[in-house]
Chain A
Amino acid sequence: MPQPDAGILDHRDRIIARLLAVLPAEAVIHDAHAIRAYECDALTAYRCPPLAAVLATTTAEVAAVMRICHEEGVPVIPRGSGTGLAGGALPTADSVLLGVARMRDVLEIDYANRFVRVQTGITNLAVTGAVEGDGFFYAPDPSSQLACAIAGNIAMNSGGAHCLKYGVTTNNLLGVTAVLMDGTVIELGGAHMDAPGLDLLGVICGSEGQLAVVTEAVLRILPKPEGARPVLMGFDSSEVAGACVSDIIKAGVLPVAIEFMDRPCIRACEDFAKAGYPDCEALLIVEVEGSDAEIDEQLGLIKQIARRHDPMELREATSDDEAKRIWLGRKSAFGAMGQINDYICLDGTIPVSELPRVLRRTAELSREFGLEVANVFHAGDGNMHPLILFNANKPGDLEIAEALGAEILKFCVEVGGCLTGEHGVGIEKRDLMTVQYGPDDLDAQMQVKDAFDPRWLLNPAKVFPLDVSSGRRVA
């Protein structure tokens, strides 16, 4: 991270006094001990306490804080729940961390027009919680949905397991209230489906908190399907499993989820969760939705396709309990891996048709670097999640794991994919951006930030390689 600005550190007391003038005392955290809670997000390898952390409760408070920081030239680091995996909410010592986690109200529920309006500190799962009693749900479902905030979902354009059918955050976001770095409050979109003018909403979503702080959101809600049922398939090679995924997609059935696990991951999950998975090289969980008759029809087709690939196991859930068991292992995959090892989780995305090739290359790289890689991912949309296993207590192991990760991601880009499908760039993949984009491509993106935040005060040292953004950043 860049060196903190000594001038800002010198004015620390004045900045805190100004923040205290617009917020209640308990909302401004600057005590050296308490502030450590905000020194990192879920990328815990990198930490730095900010100058102060503020927890706003209204859009007006957010605007007041940003106006002060703009006047003082202080960088602002927005934060939702701090569950981000890419270091997008990592502070610098000269920054004010601006949290929305206390802004959790559901402001409006409108079933006739199928939307909810919420404050963005609300958790992803709480949005569904507010409407599921009436038969609706909010579709994007990142695996951290119990804890992650809508604010962070918007910042990272979060996905989840069901994107194949329902899209990611940007496809389910109808409008926002947001605050620009100079304190200007803007409204984009709303309950109507299309916004006029340039699609500023589309560019704010996924901008990693670098263009505006989103304080309220209008989210599309959907009627819950009548039912859902998974089928589990085991194959004796990852390549065959990959080919099966491609054939299912081509056949015209669109499952809501296609999840993939390889042998290292299957074993770890089996030891951890005892889900009864078969002993095989690759496992697919395919889930479809609808009435019982519709599910039978879709799964009939899917099983027919799977049989052409000679599966070692083909198991359809015949009860809710069996369905839960099929999902149990998958849902505990990250926890299971965490039990046996430290790991880095990547999320490069590739064209689905390249799955076999990428899995093969990953295995080669794993051998070359001498670290095991387990694969568990959303196969339907090509969003890989290679877990690189290493030992944090062994000096140099983290660095080897990071280098292996970079090689895997470079290969994802080489086959036509991208560095990150849902976690974001943050600081973690910042320096790999030049692998995917040329200088003009990055300049075009940075021009957008120039237009929204000419002084580059909002979450400045993220997303773009530091040497590439250095001419634009004050901080």
Chain B
Amino acid sequence: MRPTTETELAEAIRGATGPLVVRGGGTRRPGRPVTGAVLETGELLGITLYDPGALTLVVRAGTPLAEVEAALRADHQMLPFEPMDHRALLGTEGTPTIGGVVAANVSGPRRVTAGACRDSMIGVRFVDGTGRVIRNGGRVMKNVTGYDLVKLMAGSYGTLGVVSEVAFKVLPIPEAEVSLALDGLDPGAAVAAMAAALGSPYGVSGAAREPGGRVLLRLEGLAGSVAHRVQALAAVLGPFGTCARIEAAGSRASWAAIRDAAALGPVEGDVWRVSVKPSDAPDVLARAGGTALMDWGGGLVWVVQPEGTDLRAKLDGIGGHATLVRASEATRARLPVLHPEPEPLARLAAGLRAKFDPRGVLNPGLMG
């Protein structure tokens, strides 16, 4: 099924007689594998409203991410949360859609200052499991009118409803960008350096440690301001070594690779995505072993594990959670892909799914 309008989408869901596999561009493959009739959103196309003076963009869910970013770029604006492209890591093909980004709440390095995908979302339209079209939020930045179902839809992987349209708060593209690099820091020193940078008043908008051990810190903004902050941040980082300076194009390429966890693409094994308190990241690396990439100052750790390893058992006692992002079908069927939830939360989630999708047709079992 490939509906071309929201009405057709609603009809397709209303008419479903069994499980539906909801798919955008098919580049991310999240959650536990689901089987059923495929419902694709890739024909729900087009930007329905773009108001640069209000920093607002409204777009249909199947619109390619690249098209959204190009339209924004023409007005020197961008999606604040720097969404990841999963293709390099997963070896998938296809075209990432904005709906897929939303369904998986995909957020990149700028998460540390600009928030996650969900933080930029200000409105949604979606079709629930009974075929009803629901609106929530709107197109304004501050809106506390009723419950925030916009957040609920972000990262719900199409299990509560299929998003047909999303409104975002967007931001100006920074005029200038420079990164500072520190080499040869072990994970503990790297996290300390990143904490010092993120705790400074210089607006660090990216803090990562590449698998090779290089730490990168990004500064963005007006050219004069960036020049000032580069000096000031280098001074803060003095105790950790002498910073190398990476200019615009090199900086952009480095952050795109970090955003996409591209370095882990060719590495053999399963890939896990671990979300922890940043200061716990060195412990995660020590216990997990294997190739690892840290982003968000250590708050996000990508680790490669031998096939079939249950990383969660190794990390027992560390707070946070782990998601199995890349593994064989067999492993994904055997190990919980998403982190198991404690009983009261699992009960609430099941209760919400039962309300929004009482027949259990939307990606059933994907989240639990």
Question: What residues of chain A have their CB less than 8 Å away from a CB belonging to chain B?
Answer: 110-114, 135-136, 156-157, 159, 163-164, 167-168, 170-171, 180, 184-188, 190-203, 205-207, 223-226, 246-247, 249-254, 290-291, 293-294, 297-298, 301, 349-353, 378, 381-383, 416-425, 429, 433, 436-438, 440-445, 447-452, 463-464
**B2-42 CB contacts (< 8 Å) to partner A:** none
Check if B55 sits within 8 Å of A444, measured CB to CB.
no
Interfacial chain A residues near B323, Cβ < 8 Å = 196
Q: Separation in Å of the B227 CB from the closest CB of chain A?
A: 9
| C-alpha gap A203/B151 in the complex (Å) | 6
Check: B172 CB closer than 8 A to any chain A CB.
yes
| Smallest Cβ-Cβ distance to A242: which chain B residue | B53
Interfacial chain B residues near A251, Cβ < 8 Å = 172
> 17 extra interchain contacts, Cβ-Cβ under 8 A, other than A112-B199, A200-B152?
A192-B321, A194-B300, A223-B200, A252-B76, A252-B172, A290-B228, A297-B224, A349-B142, A381-B142, A382-B142, A418-B140, A421-B144, A425-B144, A438-B135, A441-B134, A445-B136, A448-B352
Check if A196 sits within 8 Å of B338, measured CB to CB.
yes
| Smallest Cβ-Cβ distance to B232: which chain A residue | A291
Interfacial chain B residues near A164, Cβ < 8 Å = 141
| C-alpha gap A350/B142 in the complex (Å) | 9
Interfacial chain B residues near A201, Cβ < 8 Å = 151
Check if B277 sits within 8 Å of A192, measured CB to CB.
yes
**Known contacts A111-B199, A297-B225; A444/B119 CB under 8 A:** no
Max chain B Cβ within 10 angstroms of own Cβ: one of A157, A192, A420:
A192
Check if B143 sits within 8 Å of A349, measured CB to CB.
yes
| C-alpha gap A420/B321 in the complex (Å) | 35
Q: Separation in Å of the A96 CB from the closest CB of chain B?
A: 22
Bitwise, B234-264 to A at CB < 8 A (1) or not (0) is 0000000000000000000000000000000
Interfacial chain B residues near A290, Cβ < 8 Å = 225, 228
Check if B355 sits within 8 Å of A168, measured CB to CB.
no
Interfacial chain B residues near A156, Cβ < 8 Å = 144
Check if A196 sits within 8 Å of B341, measured CB to CB.
yes
| C-alpha gap A339/B134 in the complex (Å) | 44
Interfacial chain B residues near A207, Cβ < 8 Å = 147-148
Max chain B Cβ within 10 angstroms of own Cβ: one of A349, A440, A444:
A444
Check if B198 sits within 8 Å of A114, measured CB to CB.
yes
Q: Show 14 A/B contacts (Cβ-Cβ < 8 Å), sorted by A.
A: A157-B148, A170-B151, A187-B342, A194-B275, A194-B321, A198-B348, A200-B349, A223-B199, A253-B222, A383-B141, A383-B142, A438-B135, A444-B134, A449-B147
Check if A168 sits within 8 Å of B152, measured CB to CB.
no
| C-alpha gap A211/B156 in the complex (Å) | 19
**B137-160 CB contacts (< 8 Å) to partner A:** 138-152, 154-156, 160
| C-alpha gap A170/B199 in the complex (Å) | 21
Interfacial chain B residues near A168, Cβ < 8 Å = 142
Check if A417 sits within 8 Å of B138, measured CB to CB.
yes
| C-alpha gap A445/B172 in the complex (Å) | 33
Max chain B Cβ within 10 angstroms of own Cβ: one of A193, A382, A416:
A193
Closest A-B pairs by Cβ, 6 of them: A202-B151, A252-B172, A421-B142, A246-B53, A451-B351, A447-B355
Interfacial chain A residues near B201, Cβ < 8 Å = 135, 223-226
Check if B228 sits within 8 Å of A291, measured CB to CB.
yes
Bitwise, B302-341 to A at CB < 8 A (1) or not (0) is 0000000000000000011101000000000000001101
Check if B154 sits within 8 Å of A199, measured CB to CB.
yes
| C-alpha gap A190/B134 in the complex (Å) | 30
Q: Separation in Å of the B133 CB from the closest CB of chain A?
A: 7
Contact of B149 among A205, A297, A298, A448 (CB under 8 A): A448
Check if A192 sits within 8 Å of B320, measured CB to CB.
yes
| Smallest Cβ-Cβ distance to B111: which chain A residue | A193
Q: Separation in Å of the A110 CB from the closest CB of chain B?
A: 8
Q: Separation in Å of the B205 CB from the closest CB of chain A?
A: 12
Check if B228 sits within 8 Å of A294, measured CB to CB.
yes
| Smallest Cβ-Cβ distance to B128: which chain A residue | A444
| C-alpha gap A170/B139 in the complex (Å) | 17
Interfacial chain B residues near A448, Cβ < 8 Å = 147, 149, 152, 352, 355
**Known contacts A171-B119, A194-B116; A180/B344 CB under 8 A:** yes
Bitwise, B33-76 to A at CB < 8 A (1) or not (0) is 00000000000000000011111100000000000000000011
| Smallest Cβ-Cβ distance to B119: which chain A residue | A171
| C-alpha gap A331/B345 in the complex (Å) | 42
| Smallest Cβ-Cβ distance to A450: which chain B residue | B355
Interfacial chain A residues near B144, Cβ < 8 Å = 156-157, 206, 420-425
Q: Separation in Å of the B13 CB from the closest CB of chain A?
A: 14
Question: What residues of chain B have their CB less than 8 Å away from a CB belonging to chain A?
Answer: 51-56, 75-76, 105, 107, 111, 115-116, 118-119, 128, 132-136, 138-152, 154-156, 160, 171-175, 192, 195, 198-201, 221-222, 224-225, 228-229, 232, 275-279, 296, 299-300, 319-321, 323, 338-339, 341-342, 344-346, 348-349, 351-352, 354-356, 367-368
Interfacial chain B residues near A191, Cβ < 8 Å = 277, 319
Interfacial chain B residues near A200, Cβ < 8 Å = 152, 345, 348-349
Interfacial chain A residues near B342, Cβ < 8 Å = 187
**Known contacts A196-B339, A351-B54; A419/B145 CB under 8 A:** yes
Check if A192 sits within 8 Å of B275, measured CB to CB.
yes
**Known contacts A207-B147, A425-B145; A198/B134 CB under 8 A:** no
| C-alpha gap A156/B144 in the complex (Å) | 7
Interfacial chain B residues near A193, Cβ < 8 Å = 111, 116, 275, 296, 299-300
Check if A198 sits within 8 Å of B349, measured CB to CB.
yes
| C-alpha gap A207/B355 in the complex (Å) | 18
Check if B145 sits within 8 Å of A197, measured CB to CB.
no
Check if A445 sits within 8 Å of B195, measured CB to CB.
no
| C-alpha gap A416/B174 in the complex (Å) | 28
Check if A452 sits within 8 Å of B348, measured CB to CB.
yes
Check if A437 sits within 8 Å of B195, measured CB to CB.
no
Check if B53 sits within 8 Å of A353, measured CB to CB.
yes
Check if B119 sits within 8 Å of A198, measured CB to CB.
no
Interfacial chain B residues near A349, Cβ < 8 Å = 140-143
| C-alpha gap A223/B229 in the complex (Å) | 14
| Smallest Cβ-Cβ distance to A200: which chain B residue | B348
Contact of B338 among A197, A352, A378 (CB under 8 A): A197
Q: Separation in Å of the A144 CB from the closest CB of chain B?
A: 15
Contact of A444 among B151, B156, B296, B356 (CB under 8 A): B356
| C-alpha gap A443/B200 in the complex (Å) | 46
Q: Separation in Å of the B52 CB from the closest CB of chain A?
A: 5
Check if A451 sits within 8 Å of B348, measured CB to CB.
yes
Interfacial chain B residues near A436, Cβ < 8 Å = 138, 145-146
Interfacial chain A residues near B279, Cβ < 8 Å = 110, 112-113
Check if A202 sits within 8 Å of B118, measured CB to CB.
yes
Check if A198 sits within 8 Å of B140, measured CB to CB.
no
